Chains A and B, each alone.
Chain A
């Protein structure tokens, strides 16, 4: 069966709550420091953005795609350090400065997304 989409009606959008405004002055999106792909997109190993490719925060407040930081920490070269500040990486149990309690614990449940329903 072939389905043709005649029209669609968006009712909500969401983005990761990175605590940053999103687009910077030059209109460039915030990107993962490791793969340079926007947080809103997925890491290079995934095909679809969303809960299957979440973000992961360190206690140092640095944030990466979870798959990117895990790949790095899995190497000996990483010395288990944050790629940004070389401090020992400690995954944040709750993102610092979280504005509400909807921010999931990235350790327990990779649902770091805060639905941001702009209908």
Chain B
């Protein structure tokens, strides 16, 4: 309970966690940033192997929530972040992932889509876990 209250002050709220398969959290960037007053939703999907295997994390795109415009976030909600891919660690909690993505948004200097957004979204696998992203700062996903 303490954790939930603490998170609310950080701009992270649990919207849905009815089972151990899919959780949805809302996320906003506190303080001054390009995303001031915007609220996003993150969907986590956990495989039975979680936390040994990473969760599938995407930004929700529905009637209520929009995918943030960010150079590491594709318009289909897929996120290019190393901690969700080859730098996953089983000690990373849902909170830690949320805070990392929050800081990714907070440090954004220009609201734009990844340069290869259209090409990626056209042929992207359903789960970003099946995308082999390159995390060297360049955005060159190989589908």
> Residues of A at under 8 Å CB distance from B?
26, 33-36, 68, 71-72, 75, 77, 83-84, 86
Contact = CB atoms under 8 A, between A and B. Distances in A.
- Ranked nearest first, the 3 interchain pairs of A and B with the lowest CB-CB distance are A33-B91, A83-B89, A83-B91
Interface in B89-128: 89-91, 93
Contact of B52 (A26, A33, A36, A72): A72
B51 A35 contact: yes
* Contact residues on B (Cβ < 8 Å of other chain), bracket: 10 to 19
Given A26-B2, A35-B51, A77 B91 contact: no
Given A33-B90, A83-B90, 19 more contacts: A33-B91, A34-B90, A34-B91, A35-B51, A36-B93, A68-B90, A71-B52, A72-B52, A72-B90, A75-B52, A77-B54, A77-B86, A77-B88, A83-B89, A83-B91, A84-B89, A84-B91, A86-B87, A86-B89
A8 to B, nearest CB: 33
Contacts of A86: 87, 89
Contacts, number: 26
Interface in B1-55: 2, 51-54
Interface of B: 2, 51-54, 86-91, 93
Interface majority SS (helix, strand, loop, mixed), chain B = loop
Contacts of B2: 26
A77 B51 contact: no
Contacts of B52: 34, 71-72, 75
A4 to B, nearest CB: 37
A87 to B, nearest CB: 12
Most chain B C-beta atoms within 10 Å of own C-beta, residue among A36, A71, A75, A77: A77
B100 to A, nearest CB: 15
Most B CB atoms within 10 A — which of A26, A35, A83, A86?
A: A83
A26 B1 CA distance: 12
A83 B52 CA distance: 10
Nearest to B91: A33
A34 B89 CA distance: 9
6 contacts: A68-B90, A72-B52, A77-B53, A77-B54, A84-B91, A86-B89
A112 B136 CA distance: 41
